[in-house]
Amino acid sequence: MLESPPMWDAIVSIIEWVADDSAQVLAGAVPYLLIGLSALYVAWLVIGYLRVSQVAIDAESAVQPALRLPRAPDGAIEAPRGVPYCPVDGLQYPPGARFCTQCESDLMLSCANCGATIRAADESCYRCGTRDTMAVAGEGPA
C-alpha cells in the first residue's frame, strides 16, 4: 500500500477542521460581531445627534426657521453673501448654523468679503483670509 504525501495530510486536516470545528468558532464569533455592529450603530446615532444639535446653539438668539432660497433658471441656488445655506435642500439658515437640519450636510456660505463659497464651519476664507465670513446680523448683504 502507498503512503500519502505530507501535503495530503495537511489538506485532510484542514478539511476536517472546517467540517468539525468551524461551526464552534463561528458560533463563538457571532455574538461579538452583533455587539460590535450594535455599538457602531449607536455611535452613528450619537454623532448624528451631536452634529444636528449644533445648529443655532446661540442661547441668546431666538430660534429662526430655515427659509427656502430662490433658484436661478439654471437650477443654481441664489444665496446672499455671508448667510449659511444648504446646497442640497436650498434652505437658508441663521448665522452660526453649521449643519442642515433636514439632510445633516455641511452648510455653505459665500464669504461676506470676497464672495468665495466656503463651508459655514470654516473659521476663515481660503481666498481672502478674512475671519469675518458671515454677514453681521441685521445688516444686508454686501
The grid cell for 134 is 458671515
Instruction: Report the mean per-residue pLDDT for the chain.
Output: 77
Bigger pLDDT: 98 vs 44: 44
SS3 content of the chain, % helix, strand, coil (to 5): 35, 10, 55
Those residues whose C-beta lies under 8 Å from the C-beta of residue 128, and which sit 6 or more positions away, are: 111, 113, 114, 116
pLDDT, tens digit, 9 for 90 and up, residues 50-96: 876 665 455 445 556 777 777 778 877 777 888 888 888 888 888 77
What's the pTM?
0.49
Which of 6-10, 96-100, 133-137 is the least confident region? Answer: 133-137
Question: Which pLDDT score is estimated for 38?
Answer: 95
Bigger pLDDT: 37 vs 14: 37
Question: Which pLDDT score is estimated for 2?
Answer: 57
